[in-house]
Structure 1
Amino acid sequence: MSRRRKNDVGGSVLRELGGWLLYILIIVGLTYLIITFVGQRTRVSGYSMEPTLSDGDSLIVDKISYRFRDPKRFDIIVFPYKYEKNTYYIKRIIGLPGETVQVTDGYVYINGQKLESDTYGAELMQAEASPVTLSEDEYFVMGDNRNHSSDSRDPSVGVIKRKDLMGRAFLRVYPFDKIGVIKHE
């Protein structure tokens, strides 16, 4: 009888370890799927989105919502910088597909009309920008700290294609005193 009990204990331990191993594999698999298709963590580097986002803020990027809806004006988006691998920019959408965007006298104009609802720019813009007409899959983006931002006004960034949008900044997770959902409008 003691021999049988010993085998039962050994088998029980192996079943328990197998259960834990399966549990860990499922968690790792789900984590991979979530990071790949649903959300991703990123960190703000620089001051181009001040005062909305600050240098060192850690964010969760929602990678799934743009599969079901179009990006909207004032969404804060994340996209890859085309000249440097593994570098991402965080900017705010200002111009939508089909619109003509221009910066004159320190203000943004969409299709010749001043963008009155643009309360995100920290100050009047010093640089002018010639009119840019966006195609059906292009977006014009700007940082909130407009005089200190490389954005669609800069030829090295230019307009952003829909396919290049990694996702929408969704949640600030650090610093802890600023944790919360990021307001886009």
Structure 2
Amino acid sequence: MRRAARAVLVAAVRGRRARGGPWGEAALAEFDQTTGRWEAVRWAAGGLRAVWHERRARIRTLPARVRIQRAAVIAALLMIPAAVVVNQFVLTPRYIPSGSMEPTVRVQDRVVVDKVSFRLTGIRHGDIVEFDSPLTPGAPMLKRVIGLPGDTIECREGRVYRDGAVLDEPYLEGPAATDDCGAPVTVPAGELFVLGDHRIVSQDSRQLGMIPQDSVDGRLLARIWPLS
């Protein structure tokens, strides 16, 4: 532990230079006078604070233009990995390639999919969720959640019924042209019944069957393009 503490202090004080600043060099010179592992760690921590203050004092002596340039470079270096993490695990932009969710989202729309909140709040009726296509693994699909576990779903005469009650679906454009789903189905535990809003062209639970809840990767948050 003493060796590790000293190595960290040397790297902080000198970096790639042969000699560091006076405060850091003083802390480094007196390191060998410490006894025991924890005293060495505490001394190294104090030396790191001294190096930090020393560097800040040196930076304040630089011209304003140089300080601004350095700050911009550091901000860019921090923003790039942060943007990658957000895009991968928090908010992901998506391009809509098909009309299966029209008129809610149309072909060539850009939307944002939230990959976090639905894990905290749970999935609800009417949510538009993203999951991998059962037909083309790796290709995301967006569909609306119609049935949760325990719900009985039936489609007849162009309408959708949940537990015997017809659904009010104001998000549909014109008559709800929903093909017959066959016999009423009860959604099993851990699965979802999903439909596209453009029922005539959508491939959904009528053809693909239920989708596992744990296959849901995100929930539609907003359309970002076009702005209208």
How high is the TM-score relative to the length of structure 2?
Answer: 0.65
Could you tell me how far 1:128 is from its partner in structure 2? 0.9
1:118 match: 169
Identity within the alignment, %: 30
Partner Cα distance (1:171, 1:142) in 2: 19
- The Cα shift of 1:87 comes to 1.3
Give the corresponding residue for 1:101. Answer: 153
How far apart, CA to CA, are the structure 2 residues paired with 1:90 and 1:164? 12
Q: Which residue of 2 aligns with 1:140?
A: 193
In structure 1, stretches of 5+ residues that fail to align are 1-7, 179-185
Residue 39 of structure 1 is matched in structure 2 by 91
2:127: which partner in 1? 75
Q: Which residue of 2 aligns with 1:26?
A: 78
Query: What corresponds to 1:128 in structure 2?
Result: 180
Aligned residue identity for 1:72: R
Per the alignment, residue 166 of structure 1 pairs with 217
Report the 3-state secondary structure (helix = DSSP H, G, I; strand = E; otherwise coil) of the residue aligned with 1:68.
helix
TM-score normalised by the chain length of structure 1: 0.79
1:175 aligns with 2:226: yes
Counterpart secondary structure, 1:26: helix
RMSD: 2.3
Residue 113 of structure 1, CA deviation: 2.3
Looking at CA atoms only, which structure, 1 or 2, has the larger radius of gyration?
2
In the aligned structure 2, how far is the partner of 1:172 from the partner of 1:105? 31
Q: Larger RCO: Structure 1 or Structure 2 (Cα < 8 Å, ≥ 6 residues apart)?
A: 1
Higher strand share: 1
Does the Cα contact within 8 Å between 2:110 and 2:223 map onto a contact in 1? yes
| Runs (5+) with no aligned partner, structure 2 | 1-57
| 2:128–2:143 contact (8 Å) kept in structure 1 | yes
Residue 21 of structure 1, CA deviation? 4.1
Whether the 8 Å CA contact 2:114–2:220 is kept in 1: the answer is yes
Contact conserved, 2:156 with 2:178, CA < 8 A, in 1?
no
Matches within 5 A, 1:59-70: 59-70=111-122
For 1:112, the aligned partner's letter is: G
Give the structure with the higher percent helix: 2
